[in-house]
Every structure is written in C-alpha cells, then in structure tokens.
Amino acid sequence: MNTHDTPTQAGAATDQLPPEPTLDPPEALEEDQPVRLDELAVPALLVAIGGYLTYGLVTMEVPASASWPGPGFFPTIITGLLFVVAAAMTVQILRAHRRTHPSERARDEGPPTDWKATGTIVAAFLLFAAVLVPLGWILAGTVLFWGVARGLGSRRPVFDLLVALGTSCLIQLAFSAGLGLRLPPGILGWF
Amino acid sequence: MDSLPLLLEGFAAALTPMNLLYVFFGAMLGTAVGVLPGLGSSMAVALLLPVTFTLDPTGAFIMFAGVYFGGLFGDSISGILLNTPGNSSAIASTFEGHKMALSGRAAQALATAAIGAFSGGLIATTLVAFGAPLMAEMATLFGPAEYFALAVFAFVAISAVVADSVLKGLAALLIGLAIAFVGIDAQSGASRFTLGIPQFFDGISIIVVTVGMLALGEVFYIASRRHHPTTALITTQGRPWLSLREMRQAAPAWLRGTAYGLPFGVIPVGGSEIPTFLAYGTERRLDRRRRHPMFGRGAIQGVAAPEAAGNATAGTAMGALLTLGLPTSSTAAIMLAAFVQYGMQPGPLLFETNGDLVWTLLASLFIGLVVLLILNLPFAPLWAKLLVVPRQYLYSGIALFAALGVYASGGSLADVFLLIGIGLIGFLLRRYGLPLAPVLIAVVLGPLAETELRRTLAISEGDATALISSGITITLYTLLAAAMIAVAIVRLRQRSRVDV
C-alpha cells in the first residue's frame, strides 16, 4: 500500500511482512512451521516488563504510614495481567503459526526488513545523547541529523553534513536565541 | 446566558496583535507537523509544548489552539494527497479524499476538509463555551468510583473495541500502564520502579512517551522498511473553492458528521477514530440510495462528514478536559500537562479559580479555527509541498525536533535515553501491528485510574461493591458491556463470512 502506516493500518501491513531471515535454526528446519515466530517478540516484551515490575514490587520499600490499598496494590494486578496476556498471545501465535501453510509464506514475501538502517539510526541517537552536553547542541544535532539521513539511505555524506549543520544551527538560533530555550552550548560555548 | 459576556471578555483578552501572531504561528507549525506522515496533532502539541513554556499563559494557550486544530487539519492533507493519513483520526476521510485527488479534484477535497474541520470545530467549541459551566456542575456528582469507571470505560473501549485484536489492544494498554507506574507514588510517597535513579522520581513524562512512541517509533519503522515501495504525491491544481452544487452536497454531511463527533469528545474512547468511521459509514449508506452513487469514485460527502466529526470531537474533548479534568485523547493529555505547568488544575473548580484564563482559551479556540480556515482554504496545496522534501531529510528533521522537544521540556539527558528506549518499544509495536493509542491513553489515565480505585477501596474499607454502587457507575459499566457484546457479535459474523 504505502510506506508509512498509521497505528491502525499497521495491523494490516504486518501481514505482508516477510519472515525473518534470522530464524533460529531448529525452527527454520521444521517445514510445517513457516510463519514468523519473531512475532513472539511481543509476548517476550510483555514478560520482560512484567519481570521488571515483579522485581520492583519485591524490592519496593513501602512506608509504614501507607494505608491499604498501598502502592503495590494496582501494579500487582497489572503485573498479573501482563503475564496472562503474554501467555495468551504466545498460545495464539503458536497456533496460528502451525495453521499457516508453507505456500502462504512465499506469496507474502516483500522486501526484507532493513535492520542495518534501523541500527544506524539507533546508534545515531545514542551518540547524540552521549555528546550532547560535552559537545553542545549544534554538533550533537549535526551528528543526529547526519546519522538518521545516512540510515535512511542517503549516500551524499558531505552534502548531508552541510544540511545537518545548517538545520542544527537554525534550530539553535530560532529556539535558543529567539525563544530563549536553554540548549547546551558545549565546546562552542568556550569561544 | 451569562457565558456570553465572559466569552466576550475572553475575546478582548485574546485579540491582541501579539496573540494573533502566536495563533498564526501555532496554526502554521501545527499544520506543518500534522502534514508530516506518521505525525499527527498530538505530536504537534508535544513537540511545540516546550516552545510555549517561554510565553505567558494567554499567549501559550492561544498558540496551542492554533497548533491543536492545525495538526488535525494537517493529518488530512497528507491523507488526501498521499494516501497516508497523519493520524488514525484522518483514516476515514482518506478513503474518498484520496480518490477525489486521483480524479483531479484534490483542491476541492482539501477545501471540503478545511470547511468541514471549521464547521465541526465551530459548533463543538460553541457548545463547550455555553455548556461548560453546566458540565462543571454535573462533574461535581462524580466521586472516586465514577472517575474509576470512566477510566475503565476508556481502557476497555480503546483496547477491546477500537483495536482490531483484543489481545494486541490489551498488551498495548498494559505497556502504557506499566510506564505510568514509574515514579514516586503520590498517595504513599513510596518510590516505585525507579531503580533508585532520581531522574525517574517524577515519573516518565507524557511528552517523552508521545514523542518516543509516535515520532521515534515512526522513524525507526520507516528505516526498517525503506526498501518497500512508496506512493507518489499528487500535485494539486484548479480552484480551491467549492461550487454551489458541491456546497449543497457537502453541507448536510458536515452537519451529520458534527453530530457524530460531538458526544465522542466527552466519552473517553481515545479520540476521534470511532466517530469519524461512524460518520463515514453513514454517508456511505446514504450514498447507496442515491441515483448516482459516488462512493468509491471520490464522494465529497465521504470527506466532509469524517472531517467535521473529527474536529467536533476535538472541540468537545477540550470541554471534557476543562470541566472534568479528564483527558480523552493523548493531545488533550499533553494540554493537561501544559495547564499544570501554569499552575492550573482542570476540573469543576477551574472556572472559578482561573475563570479569566479559561474564557481566553475558549476564545482562542474560536480564533484558531478562523485563522486556520483563512490559512488553509487557499494554501493547503502549499503545505503538501513539505512532502516533496527528500525522505531522508524529512525524517532527520523529525528526529532532531523530537530530541529537541524532549530535551528542552525536561532539560535532562535521562529523558533523551528514555526517549530512545520508548522509541524502540514503539518500533516493536508498529512492526507487529499493535495499536499505539491504548499505550498513550494508559499513560494518561493510568495514574487517575489507580488513585481513584485506591480511594474508593479505602473509603469502603475494601468492599469492592463500592465500585458499582451508584447510578452513574452502573450506567457506564452497562454501556461498556453492551458495546463489547455488539463488537463480539460483529466480529463473529465477519469471521463466519470469511470461512464460507
């Protein structure tokens, strides 16, 4: 259909997502289980969040003055629900997975997911966060802009650098000098 | 009506040259952000919230009014011209809107959308201005149990009724609730899920969640699918005005759409998705009875009704926020954050404690609507030019603004790292088709739901029946049960049809 799906459309779009090339070997070998087991990432995320909440609940220091129902009351319910939904989802995915015929997979194949692109952008963001205070907004912003453009497939590094620097400077000018927002000056503040 | 003089006073306070400049800028920025694919009005408000911190409250609210309605309209521009609605609320008007554009009537489709947005918003805002004091009075009937019921209603409606898979909707909701837990518990003072990190004591800001889920998630997602084919942008030409005949066709649809939109602003079902689709469906059924059915070939009613419904919902949502203190969409939730920033607590008392500001805000909403109509009727095609910017620069810019907005609003690096983490969760949800709206609603209403639940149980000393002991709560839960049964029946029918 189109490149960007809104939240609701995304549901339809994922049906067309290709199976991941990074399937675990034992699963990939079983021929009658072709559907993307990577969907299990969602229940895995739920379990991870549930685990974090459980850890937090166990280690929570409840003040003696707290009356019932205390700070752990509602989170306990939600943690339980997280595990229930994760379990139900796992069952659903595994059952759907078993039902899907191998031939259906071949039909739905589209271009593969570009993990390198996403990885580049995540890295650009992490780098941005790391250098924002020491180097200042202008340079950190340039890094971010350049990294995201690169991740999205731009192959003109020098031109991109100029665009990135220009955008970053414009923002600094408009928001810091114009509207009075406090942005870290970094090394450029020494001059 | 004693609202009228107060409203006029509000207009007097709002109508200064400086404020007009603010609303103008707000409308421009809001539309610009709204036009960008994947970013809707809630993103517009979230990204521009830090900007308004530097203004006085009146200036800030008047700018918000422009951003709010501008973002909504921007959603439809990209929907009509590019077939990529900026927000789920613009999907319904995209169906026929894009078909109109394909058949060379893009300018008229945009004009229909602009006038629809104007009339829906105008009627809703008028209702809010004159009905708000009454609603505030009604709101005093609401106790803890009633507020909890409202929150439950919102949660279940958005995750089970709106989302296409109940499990996926619930999963998204629970993720949002978990995010909302982080921070110091206001009632007991206990630190929850913070790992002892001081930056987390205040909780995770709604701005970080919105920007991370919507903007960053989108950028990550776009990158992962960059080899997928794209649709071409349709260039607009011809008159942006409607002929008399087109006006006659669209006018009733605008009104019908508004009628659908009005009640949904007050009911917390997560914004204007449901009313826009209801309005679209009605127009479609009406169209089938006509001599020359136009649906499927670019029916003007198919744009007019959902657009009016969407803005009517946005208008009354403002009323619910002001009088009940209840945010019914993520946009409203971010506005709530802005109110708190200025030391205002929306709710029944707001009209007494901050009366002058409220009336100024209401007047600003009217001004925002008018400015938008003036700005968009002739210039909507110009906005679409934003979409000609090469994709890699467009999204780099979005990423930069996302980082700026989050850092500037909190001023802490911890927020930037959180942003990345939440962006990754947003990416995961997009990738596997989980709806994002329940996450945002849960973050918004989660704390309210928890506080009211605990209050109810504390008052009743643990008696759970206190949750369903009043007429209002029983009505709400009954409505909810009825809606769920209706949805279940519809889904079962669809399933059996597929099987045949």
Q: Which two tokens stand for residue B60?
A: 């800030």
Asked if residues A153 and A117 have their Cβ atoms less than 8 Å apart, the reply is yes
Q: What are phi and psi of A100, to 5 degrees?
A: -70, 135
What's the pLDDT score for residue A25?
37
What's the pLDDT score for residue B176?
94
User: Are B188 and A71 a contacting pair at CB < 8 A?
Assistant: yes
Instruction: Tell me the pLDDT tens digit for each residue of B8-64.
Output: 888 888 788 888 888 888 888 888 887 776 667 777 787 777 777 777 877 887 888
Q: How far is CA B209 from CA B236, B330, B440, in A?
A: 36, 10, 7
What does the mean pLDDT of chain A come to?
77
> Which helix H or strand E contains B69, and what residues bound it?
helix B57-82
What's the pLDDT score for residue B270?
57
What's the pLDDT score for residue B230?
63
What's the pLDDT score for residue A105?
53
Regions of chain B with pLDDT less than 70 = 1, 37-39, 86, 161-164, 229-240, 267-271, 380, 384, 495-500
Instruction: Tell me the pLDDT tens digit for each residue of B415-441.
Output: 999 999 999 999 999 888 888 878 888
The domain spans of chain A are 7-107, 115-190
Instruction: Tell me the pLDDT tens digit for each residue of A55-82.
Output: 999 998 888 887 778 899 999 999 999 9
Instruction: Tell me the pLDDT tens digit for each residue of B318-328.
Output: 888 888 877 77
As a whole-number percent, the residues of chain B with pLDDT over 70 amount to: 92
What's the pLDDT score for residue A110?
59
Most confident of A9-23, A154-168, B144-158: A154-168
What's the pLDDT score for residue A148?
94
- Rounded to an integer, the average pLDDT of A29-56 is 79
Kindly indicate the confidence band of residue A17, based on its pLDDT and cuts at 50, 70 and 90: very low
Examine the pLDDT at A16 and tell me if it is beyond 50: no
Instruction: Establish if B450 touches chain A: CB-CB under 8 angstroms.
Output: yes
What's the pLDDT score for residue A80?
96
Question: Hey, of A1, A2, A3, A65, which one would you mutate to test binding to chain B, going by the most B CBs within 10 A of its CB?
Answer: A3
Instruction: Tell me the pLDDT tens digit for each residue of B93-127.
Output: 888 888 888 888 888 888 888 888 899 989 999 99
What's the pLDDT score for residue A1?
37
Distance CA B378, CA B307 (A): 18
Binding-face residues of A in 49-108 toward B, CB within 8 A: 49, 52-53, 56, 60-63, 65-75, 78, 81-82, 85-86, 88-89, 92
Instruction: Establish if A23 touches chain B: CB-CB under 8 angstroms.
Output: no
What's the pLDDT score for residue A86?
96
What's the pLDDT score for residue A33?
39
What's the pLDDT score for residue B468?
85
Using alpha carbons, select from B454, B327, B397 the residue that is nearest to residue B39: B397
Q: Which of B193, B216, B228 sits opposite A110 (nearest CB)?
A: B228
Distance of CA A138 to the CA centre of its chain: 25
What's the pLDDT score for residue A24?
36
CB contacts, 8 Å: A67 with chain B: 188, 458
CB contacts, 8 Å: A181 with chain B: 50-51, 53-54, 408
Angle ∠(B217,B221,B223) on CA atoms, nearest 5: 125
Q: What is the value of pTM for the model shown?
A: 0.81
Examine the pLDDT at A116 and tell me if it is beyond 80: yes
Any alpha helices (H) in B140-240, and if so which ranges?
A: 144-156, 166-181, 206-210, 217-224
User: Are A6 and B391 a contacting pair at CB < 8 A?
Assistant: no
CB contacts, 8 Å: B211 with chain A: none
Instruction: Establish if B494 touches chain A: CB-CB under 8 angstroms.
Output: no
Per DSSP, the three-state class of B183 is strand
B450: nearest CA in chain A?
A74
Q: Which two tokens stand for residue B285?
A: 């059924």
What's the pLDDT score for residue B178?
96
What ipTM was reported for this prediction? 0.80
Instruction: Establish if A153 touches chain B: CB-CB under 8 angstroms.
Output: yes
Instruction: Establish if B188 touches chain A: CB-CB under 8 angstroms.
Output: yes
Per DSSP, the three-state class of B192 is strand
Instruction: Tell me the pLDDT tens digit for each residue of A162-173.
Output: 999 999 998 888
Q: How far is CA B376 from CA B16, B22, B65, B70, in A?
A: 22, 17, 15, 9
A56: nearest CA in chain B?
B193
> Which helix H or strand E contains B191, and what residues bound it?
strand B191-192
B273: nearest CA in chain A?
A8
